A and B are shown apart, each in its own frame.
Chain A
Amino acid sequence: MRRSEKKRIAFFDFACCEGCQLAVLELEETLLDLLSHTDIAAWREVMTGDEPPYDVAFCEGSICTRADEERLLRVRRDAKILVALGTCAAIGCHNNLRNRIDTREALEKVYGKAARGMDVTEARPVSAVVDTDYRILGCPVSLPEFIAVFKAILTDQPYRLPNEPVCVECKLTDTLCVYEKGRVCLGPLTRCGCGAICTRFGDVCHGCRGLVDEANLAAMPRVFSREHLHAIMGAVASGQPLDEERIRQMIALYNNYPELKIEDRGDA
């Protein structure tokens, strides 16, 4: 493969916890290796200054205000390649939950009087506002995928999001399925690429990487209504019955930007 000239890269954060950038910084040595092929033009979390234009702009978070939107459009104009970094930016995450309630009502509840004058819009992932060239999923972002995308950009290659459910990664790592422990898991519907990090360490899959292509949503309520499973889970979830509505809510936590069709969630 061809090695490119040094690329000018930048990181931008919008409405989010900045956990994805933090996760990226945890790459330490590997990050230094990757950065050795680049010059940093902007990265508020690690340095001051911002010198456009950029070859690559990593954008994290959701777009929640007019100001966010303008800033993102500006970054898009100044960047050859724009990467949606993490679930908030790529497909919509917790931020978007507030779209289900009246924005004014939510603002007043949280900010009281200070809410007046806030120029708030519907919460949207970056990818619903501008064209993205690459997307990296995960809450926080999956580091192996970040590395893979970074290398793809450095070598001018496309990156294809893995299109398999998390179950594949459980199996490849010989992890006991949480269903065998009587717990519920969104892994069969969720796009892998995380290395099954949650299930390997004793949790269930919460679906933070969004739906896999052609996820069989209709199959899941049937699974959950299975008598015996229901009985076990009823006990585990301390009496809270899992009905179809709750399953849909669980799934919606990370797949809640309905305007973004499943086909749009694949690789750019």
Chain B
Amino acid sequence: MTATHLISEDAFASLLDRLIQDMPVMGPVERRDQPGFYRFDRLEKTADLQVAYTTTTIPPKKFFFPPVDEMFTFDQSGPLHIEEQAEGSPFVLVGVHPCDLAAIEALDAAYAFPPADMRWIRRRKQAVIIGMECRPDDYCFCTSLGTADARAPADLFLTPLDEGYLAEVHSPMGSVLLSDTAARQATKNDRKAAEQVLQRKIEAVTARLTTSVSQLADILEYGGLTAVWRETAERCYSCGSCNITCPTCFCFSIEDTLDADLSGGQRQRSWDACQLLDFARVAGGHNFRGDRWQRVRHRWHRKFLYLYRRFGRPYCTGCGRCSRACTADINIVDITNRLVAHFQQEHKP
């Protein structure tokens, strides 16, 4: 059984104070330009942490794989010289919701798949992760994907209670974090209170898929859904926002740029998106998914079919970011349920 402790708000605050002095601590902060909206950023001080944040535009994966990641610099003024860019130093990531924890775990699996992505793996090893129970909004549907109570790969997971936080220890690092604090053993009542918080949250998640993930994979594999893809594509801008805000999307493109003196430059990789027109365009000009509806279909196929078959989990954690980011109001739950309804309609007994 997971060890659980009760840590008061003050004790947690002083733990964070200490951590902030030692190393970078990343967590959800309020956006200066728009109160009530949040982003993951470095905490200057403990008070910056927004425990009750709803969601962020960009998920915390940006700390393990920056949106624009400089891989190495090169210099050709003499013999070619290449210098790999280090991945940074140890840090703490705090305030990660269950869906985003599940997403980091999903990306761990994807990036470990040969050939392993060493930049991801090295950055992941540098991080201590403190998870946090969440407050769902209208876009969340984690309960349909089994991620509502996800914990891995958190070292410590906190549930806010009246008296402080219930702290679940999920790794040796988690107990190290608590060792110098005034945390006490959790009582049965503390655990019960946390259990109730989880139950209330699950009830608050109202958006729901009308099928299970395994049936969804079968439906997508069966096909015959072109009408839904086409009608969705009519509304879609192919802007890629749904991909880029997704905590489980992992595609990137690589580009070299020259310095102004032309004697050297850098190679960088940045997040790419399969909804963009040129994503599947290859040398010679052919585009494997030149039609918008093919790209729309591809997103669902990736999330709920191909990667589900390969890794045994859908590459969607129900965080709702894609629906929120879509200025065309293409909601992943609506469209998925429309696919299911279309399939059922076509296959009425």
Q: Which residues of A contact B (CB under 8 A)?
A: 1, 3, 30, 33-34, 36-37, 147-148, 151, 154-155, 163-165, 167-168, 170-177, 179-181, 185, 187-189, 202, 212-216, 218-219, 222-223, 226
Beta-carbon contact of A219 and B240 below 8 Å? no
**Which residues of chain A are within 8 angstroms of B260 by Cβ–Cβ distance?**
30, 33-34, 147, 151
Interface residues on B, range: 35 or more
* Stretch of B33-41, B98-106, B178-186, B193-201 lying at the A interface: B33-41
The 20 listed contacts between A and B (C-beta, < 8 Å) are A37-B262, A163-B277, A163-B278, A164-B240, A164-B277, A165-B239, A165-B240, A167-B240, A171-B325, A173-B67, A177-B241, A180-B37, A188-B327, A214-B238, A215-B237, A216-B236, A216-B237, A218-B234, A222-B328, A223-B235
Cβ of B271 within 8 Å of any chain A Cβ, yes or no, is yes
A181-B34, A202-B33, A222-B235 are known; give 7 further A-B pairs, CB within 8 A: A168-B276, A171-B271, A172-B67, A177-B57, A177-B327, A219-B237, A223-B235
Q: Does B273 contact A (CB under 8 A)?
A: yes
Are A171 and B240 within 8 A (Cβ)? yes
| B170 contacts A by Cβ under 8 Å | no
**Chain A proximity of B112: nearest CB distance (Å):** 25
User: Across the interface, which residues of B come within 8 angstroms of A167, CB to CB?
Assistant: 237, 239-241, 327
Q: Given A151-B258, A171-B58, check contact A219 B325 (CB 8 Å).
A: no
Contacts known (A33-B260, A173-B67, A176-B31); A216 close to B292, Cβ less than 8 A: yes
**How many whole Å from A255's CB to the nearest CB in chain B?**
16
Per-residue contact bits, chain B 287-324, to A (CB 8 Å; 1 contact, 0 not): 00000100000000000000000000000000000001
For B328, the chain A residues whose CB sits under 8 A away are 188, 219, 222-223
In chain B, residues 248-283, which have Cβ atoms closer than 8 Å to a Cβ of chain A?
257-258, 260-262, 270-271, 273, 276-278
Q: Could you tell me if B58 and A33 are in contact, using CB atoms closer than 8 angstroms?
A: no
Contact indicator A1/B236 (Cβ below 8 Å): no
Q: Is B47 an interface residue (CB 8 A)?
A: no
Is the Cβ of B57 less than 8 Å from the Cβ of A174? Answer: yes
Contact B237 A172 (CB under 8 A): no
Chain B: interface secondary structure? loop
Residues of chain B lying within 8 A (CB to CB) of residue A181: 34
Point out which of B39, B235, B239, B324 has the most chain A C-beta atoms below 10 A from its C-beta. Answer: B239
| B276 A172 Cβ-Cβ under 8 A | no
Q: How far is the CA of A195 from the CA of B278 in the complex (A)?
A: 19
**Chain A residue contacts of B238, Cβ below 8 A:** 165, 214, 216
- List B contacts of A218 (CB < 8 A): 234
Partner of B237, one of A1, A154, A165: A165
Given contacts A1-B258, A148-B257, contact A168 B277 (CB under 8 A): no
Contact across chains for A171 and B327 when beta carbons are under 8 A apart: no
Q: Which of B34, B62, B244, B258 lies in contact with A176, CB distance below 8 A?
A: B34
Q: A176-B31, A219-B328 are in contact. Are A168 and B273 (CB under 8 A)?
A: yes
In the assembly, what is the distance between CA of A151 and CA of B258, in Å? 7
Q: Is the CB of A172 within 8 A of B68?
A: yes
B31 contact set on A, CB distance < 8 A: 176
Residues of A within 8 A of B159 (CB): none
B84 interface residue per 8 A CB criterion: no
A180-B240 Cα distance, complex, nearest whole Å: 17
Partner of B39, one of A1, A174, A214: A174
How far apart sit A164 and B248, CA to CA, in the bound complex (Å)?
21
Q: Which residues of the partner chain B approach A180 to less than 8 Å between Cβ atoms?
A: 34, 37, 324
Contact between chains at A168 and B262 (CB < 8 Å)? no
